[in-house]
Amino acid sequence: MSSPANSLCGFLASSIGRKWIVAFTGLILVGFIAGHLTGNLLVFAGQDALNAYAAFLHNFLHGGAIWIARCVLLGSVVAHIYFTILLTRANRAAREQRYAVEVTQKASSGSKWMILSGLLILTFVIFHLLHYTVRVGAGFQDLPLDSEGHFDVYRMLILGFSNVWVSTFYVISIAMLSWHLSHGVSSMFQTLGISTPNTRQLFDRIALGFSVLTFAGYTSIPLAVLTGWVA
């Protein structure tokens, strides 16, 4: 059924409308990636700093803020995945028969594997939430409270990353995320209609810089635990 182009359904059924949703939810998720990293790096400022930050997140707006953030993030992830799957399927259908000789002139490797890197990120997100948010298994429940009487996030983190397999999985997943973002961030500026011939190079550099920082920042934590730098 075709809906008029000027209704919300029309927008969500259109190619550009769907991509806009992917880019906008991508922007929200990128914001989260940046914020989450900044907070996590407090681990290098010591046990008190990290635990105080964690307590702040849990108590801000009487504990309401974290639920608002969780809802926004969950909604973004679901919409991002739903629309990227729709788009990817339509893209495959639009080229029924492939070329015998396939040549890539401009596309980056990251851009060609977005659905793969994305689905691997999804697997990681599920594992990560079960690991540190729901705290399934791993013995986190038995940790003593910290000196302020808060749940000891710092100790949990060290216990979690002391497992080499867990840390390896984190590093590989962060590599996937950075790969996803090396294309995703520059693509986002194009889809949202912000890029221009004069700013294009800048946005490409921002994308590269952001993915390198994401990789270096997030992997520094499990590596610091494994090497005993943070203990």
Partner 1 sequence: MVSIKGQPNLLHLTLKIWRQDGPDDKGHFVDIDAPGIPTSASFLEMLDIINERLIGEGKDPVAFDHDCREGICGMCSLVINGVAHGPEKATTTCQLHMRSFKDGDTIHIEPFRAKAFPVIKDLAVDRSAFDSIIRGGGYISVRTGAAPEANNTPIPKPVADAAFDAAACIGCGACVAACKNASAMLFVAAKAGQLNSLPQGQAERTARSLGMVQAMDKAGFGNCTNQYECEAACPKEIDRSWITRLNRSYTAAFARKSLL
Q: Which residues of the shown chain bind partner 1 in the complex (CB under 8 A)? A: 2, 5-8, 10-11, 13-20, 87, 90-91, 93-108, 111-112, 114, 183, 186-187, 190-197, 200
DSSP letter at 61?
Answer: G
Residue 50 makes contact with ligand HEM by CB under 6 A: no
Which of the choices partner 1, ligand HEM, none does residue 122 contact, using the CB cut-off of 5 to 8 A by kind? ligand HEM
Residue 93 interacting partner from partner 1, ligand HEM, none (CB closer than 5 to 8 Å by kind): partner 1
- Which single residue is written with the structure tokens 């294009």? 200
Task: Determine, following the binding rule CB under 6 A, whether residue 80 of this chain makes contact with ligand HEM.
Answer: yes
18 touches ligand HEM (CB under 6 A)? no
Q: To the nearest whole angstrom, how small is the minimum distance from the Cβ of residue 114 to partner 1? A: 7
Q: Which listed residue (52, 72, 86, 115) binds ligand HEM by CB under 6 A?
A: 115
Binding residues for ligand HEM, total number by CB under 6 A: 24
Whichever of 120 and 207 has its CB closer to partner 1, that residue is 207
Q: Which does 134 bind (CB under 5 to 8 A by kind): partner 1, ligand HEM, none?
A: none
How far apart, in whole angstroms, are the C-alpha atoms of residue 228 and residue 231? 6
Q: Which of residues 17 and 39 has its CB atom nearest to partner 1 in the complex? A: 17
Q: Are 85 and 78 in contact (CB under 8 A)?
A: no
**C-alpha angle 174-179-185 in degrees, rounded to nearest 5:** 110
Can you tell me the distance from the alpha carbon of 56 to that of 124, in angstroms, rounded to the nearest whole number? Answer: 25
State how far the alpha carbon of 201 is from the alpha carbons of 1, 46, 95, in Å. 41, 38, 30
d(CA 124, CA 122): 5
121 binds, among partner 1, ligand HEM, none (CB under 5 to 8 A by kind): ligand HEM
Q: Which two tokens stand for residue 4?
A: 């008029």
Return the number of the residue (73 or 87) whose C-beta is nearest partner 1. Answer: 87
Instruction: Determine the Cα–Cα distance for residues 215 and 128; give it in Å rounded to an integer.
Output: 16
User: Would you mind telling me the total number of residues written for the chain in this entry?
Assistant: 231
Phi, psi (deg, nearest 5) at residue 46: 110, 170
Sign of the C-alpha dihedral, residues 160, 223, 165, 76?
A: positive
Residues forming the site for ligand HEM (CB under 6 A): 19, 22-23, 26, 29-30, 33, 80-81, 84, 87-88, 114-115, 118-119, 121-122, 180, 184-185, 187-188, 191
